[in-house]
Structure 1
Amino acid sequence: MKNRHASAATTAPQRPEDEYLGIGRSLAYGLQHVLTMYGGVVAVPLIIGTAAGLDAAGTGILVAAALFIGGLATILQSIGVPFLGAQLPLVQGVSFTGVATTLAVLQGTPGEEGLRIIFGAVLVASALGFILAPFFAKIIRFFPPVVSGVVITTIGLTLMPVAAGWSLGSEGDPSHGSVANVGLAAFTLLVVLVLSKVGSAGISRLSILLAIVIGTAVAALLGRAHFSGVGEGPVIGLPTPFESGAPLFVASAVLGMLIVIIVTMTETTADIVAVGEIAQTGVDSKRIANGLRADMLSSTVAPLFNTFTQTAFAQNVGLVAITGIRSRFVVAGAGVIMVVLGLLPVLGRVVAAVPSPVLGGAGIVLFGTVAASGIRTLTGVDYRSGLNLMIVAVSLAMGLIPVVSPTFYDQFPSWVQVVLGSGISAAALTAVLLNILFNELTFGSRPGASTFAAYPPRVLPKSVLQGLREGDTLVNGRLISADGHEIAAVDDHLADEVRRRVETGELTDTGQIRRIYKNDSR
Structure 2
Amino acid sequence: MQSEHLSTAVTKRPEDENLGLLANIAYGFQHVLTMYGGIIAVPLIVGQAAGLGSAEIGLLIAASLFIGGLATVLQTLGIPFFGCQLPLVQGVSFASVATIVAIVTAGGGLPSVFGAVIAASLIGLLITPIFSKIIRFFPPLVTGAVITTIGLTLMPVAARWAMGGNMKSPDFGSMANIGLAAFTLALVLVFSKLGSAAISRLSILLSMVGGTLLAWMLGMVDFSQVLVGPIFAFPTPFHFGTPEFHLPAIISMFIVVLVILVETSADVLAVGDIIETKVDSRRLGDGLRADMISSVIAPLFGSFTQSAFAQNVGLVAVTGVKSRFVVTFAGIILIILGLMPLMGRVIAAVPTAVLGGAGVVLFGTVAASGIRTLGKVNYQNNMNLIIVATAVGFGMLPIVMPSFYDAFPDWFATIFHSGISSTAIMAIALNLLFNHMKLGNSDQQSVFVAGTEDRSVRPAVIFDLNEGDYFKNGKLFDAEGNEVAVVPLKDRPKPLSDH
* TM-score, L = length of structure 2: 0.91
Q: Deviation of residue 317 (structure 1)? A: 0.4
Instruction: Provide Cα deviations, 1:382-439, integer angstroms capped at 9, x if missing partner.
Output: 1122411111111111110011000111111111111000000011111011111011
Q: Counterparts in 2 of 1:79-94, with a 5 A limit?
A: 79-94=77-92
Aligned residue type for 1:141: R
Partner of 2:62: 64
SS at match of 2:11: coil
Partner of 1:155: 150
- Separation (CA, whole Å) in 1 of partners of 2:135 and 2:400: 29
Structure 1 segments unaligned to the other structure (5+ residues) = 467-488, 494-516
1:438 matches 2:438: no
Q: Deviation of residue 254 (structure 1)? A: 0.4
- Separation (CA, whole Å) in 2 of partners of 1:49 and 1:162: 21
SS at match of 1:93: strand
Instruction: Provide Cα deviations, 1:18-41, integer angstroms capped at 9, x if missing partner.
Output: 000111101100111100000000
Please say if residues 32 and 334 of structure 2, whose CA atoms lie closer than 8 Å, have aligned partners that are also in contact.
Answer: yes
1:387 corresponds, among 370, 380, 383, to: 383
Partner of 1:460: 457
Please say if residues 65 and 337 of structure 2, whose CA atoms lie closer than 8 Å, have aligned partners that are also in contact.
Answer: yes
- Separation (CA, whole Å) in 2 of partners of 1:229 and 1:406: 35
SS at match of 2:219: coil
Partner of 2:307: 311
Please say if residues 383 and 454 of structure 1, whose CA atoms lie closer than 8 Å, have aligned partners that are also in contact.
Answer: no
- Separation (CA, whole Å) in 1 of partners of 2:334 and 2:454: 54
SS at match of 1:311: strand
- Separation (CA, whole Å) in 2 of partners of 1:415 and 1:520: 68
- Separation (CA, whole Å) in 2 of partners of 1:181 and 1:223: 12
Structure 2 segments unaligned to the other structure (5+ residues) = 470-477, 483-499
Partner of 1:133: 128
Count of matched residue positions in the alignment of Structure 1 and Structure 2:
470
Q: Deviation of residue 380 (structure 1)? A: 1.2
- Separation (CA, whole Å) in 2 of partners of 1:181 and 1:461: 61
Partner of 1:500: none
Aligned residue type for 2:159: A
Partner of 1:122: 117
- Separation (CA, whole Å) in 1 of partners of 2:423 and 2:124: 21
Partner of 2:497: none
Partner of 2:35: 37
Q: Deviation of residue 490 (structure 1)? A: 7.1
1:143 matches 2:141: no
1:396 matches 2:392: yes
Partner of 1:289: 285
- Separation (CA, whole Å) in 2 of partners of 1:31 and 1:458: 51
Q: Counterparts in 2 of 1:191-270, with a 5 A limit?
A: 191-270=187-266
* TM-score, L = length of structure 1: 0.87
Q: Deviation of residue 459 (structure 1)? A: 2.9
Return closer, same or farther for 1:11/1:376 CA change in 2, 3 Å cut-off.
Answer: closer
Aligned residue type for 2:308: A
- Separation (CA, whole Å) in 1 of partners of 2:371 and 2:362: 15
RMSD between superposed Cα atoms in Å:
2.2
Return closer, same or farther for 1:243/1:447 CA change in 2, 3 Å cut-off.
Answer: same
Q: Deviation of residue 454 (structure 1)? A: 3.8
Partner of 2:171: 175
SS at match of 2:94: coil
- Separation (CA, whole Å) in 2 of partners of 1:465 and 1:221: 72
Aligned residue type for 1:165: R
Q: Deviation of residue 11 (structure 1)? A: 9.2
- Separation (CA, whole Å) in 2 of partners of 1:88 and 1:464: 52
Q: Deviation of residue 70 (structure 1)? A: 0.2
Partner of 2:374: 378
Please say if residues 467 and 479 of structure 2, whose CA atoms lie closer than 8 Å, have aligned partners that are also in contact.
Answer: no
- Separation (CA, whole Å) in 1 of partners of 2:116 and 2:242: 12
Aligned residue type for 1:252: P
Please say if residues 191 and 211 of structure 1, whose CA atoms lie closer than 8 Å, have aligned partners that are also in contact.
Answer: yes
Please say if residues 105 and 118 of structure 1, whose CA atoms lie closer than 8 Å, have aligned partners that are also in contact.
Answer: yes
Q: Deviation of residue 449 (structure 1)? A: 4.2
Partner of 1:353: 349
Q: Deviation of residue 136 (structure 1)? A: 1.3
Instruction: Provide Cα deviations, 1:195-222, integer angstroms capped at 9, x if missing partner.
Output: 0000000000000000000000001001
Please say if residues 185 and 359 of structure 1, whose CA atoms lie closer than 8 Å, have aligned partners that are also in contact.
Answer: yes
Query: In percent, how many aligned pairs have the same letter?
Result: 56
